[in-house]
């Protein structure tokens, strides 16, 4: 779940792990864009028997924004996580994501109380065209 922090973005990764017994494990995370690493973090976590949720935060400096179709580039980041413990790697997974900021703002020309809103994507007002039936 990425969120902005000034000119950077903070990606918060939540990793669900089931452990058959109490133990420790090393969690490594990497975020990449177009094959190049942009952020990395790791931690050693204590796992309890049963379900565990591990959390890591990674800074993404100068994030490249994802734009709707026809308005700009659509860069796709990849977040990869690896869980290792006694005896080597236990599991790994990867997920793709884009970074954008979306807001609904009231139209300047709308009368008070009107439900007319404009979509703002990455700081730019965007006309919403098309509809689903």
pLDDT band for position 114 (cuts 50, 70, 90): confident
Q: Is the dihedral of CA 16, 82, 60, 45 positive or negative?
A: positive
Query: What average pLDDT does range 89-108 have in this prediction?
Result: 91
Report the half-sphere exposure of 53 (CA within 13 A, side-chain side).
3
What's the rounded mean pLDDT across residues 103-110? 83
How far apart CA 61 and CA 103 sit, in angstroms, is 22
Residue 112 pLDDT level (bands cut at 50, 70, 90)? confident
């Amino acid at each position: 779940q990425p969120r902005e922090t000034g000119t950077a973005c903070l990606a918060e990764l939540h990793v669900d792990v089931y452990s058959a017994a109490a133990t420790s494990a090393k969690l490594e995370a990497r975020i990449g864009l177009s094959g190049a690493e942009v952020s990395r973090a790791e931690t050693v976590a204590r796992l309890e028997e049963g379900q565990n949720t591990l959390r890591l935060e990674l800074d993404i400096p100068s994030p490249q924004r994802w734009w709707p179709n026809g308005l700009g580039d659509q860069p796709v980041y990849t977040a990869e996580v690896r869980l290792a413990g006694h005896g080597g790697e236990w599991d790994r997974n990867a997920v793709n994501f884009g970074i954008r900021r979306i807001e609904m703002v009231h139209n300047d020309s709308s009368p008070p109380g009107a439900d007319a809103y404009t979509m703002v994507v990455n700081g730019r007002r965007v006309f919403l065209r098309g509809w689903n039936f």
